[in-house]
Copies of this chain bind each other. A is one copy, B any other.
Amino acid sequence: MESREELTSVLRNKGFRLTPQREKILDIFYTLPEGEHLSAEDLQNILRRENSDISLATSYRTLKLLASLGVLRELAFAEDHKHYELVRFESGVQHQHIICVECGSTEEFTCVEVFQTAVEIAQSHEFELIDAQLKLFGRCKRCQDKTSNLPV
């Protein structure tokens, strides 16, 4: 997905339709700062704020569809709901996430080796590689400080 305009052809190629809802949702992802990801609920909040009334069911359906088309990437963090982010090929190197298991905050980082490693491993397992995600779990600075101040 190099540009927003491509969505039309990606959809049509598979017999899907371009609806205002799908356009709007993709729009929101394109407007997001690079590296930011949304849960279905986050998305609903943004839509509501912008007075776009798209039902929750449609949001879920659209997120799934766009993920299956490779437009969005589905992310599972520590929480029990999924997040989605734009797959951006332009930047070349995908960013990865470091997640605080205590407060749920995430930060992005990039790691050039991940992709090369992934390609090699997928090859040796005869997998057709779709995506590689390196996730680090830990406690962020703020949460570390919080605990160290607590009485023992």
Contacts and interface: CB of A to CB of B under 8 A. Distances in A.
A132 B114 CA distance: 13
The quantity of this chain's copies bound in the complex is: 2
A96 to B, nearest CB: 8
B133 A138 contact: no
Interface of A: 74, 76-78, 80, 82, 98, 100-101, 107, 109, 111, 113-114, 117-118, 121-122, 124-141, 144
A97 to B, nearest CB: 10
A127 B144 CA distance: 8
A130 B101 contact: yes
Contact of A132 (B117, B125, B134): B134
10 contacts: A107-B125, A111-B121, A114-B134, A117-B134, A118-B134, A121-B136, A127-B139, A130-B138, A132-B134, A132-B136
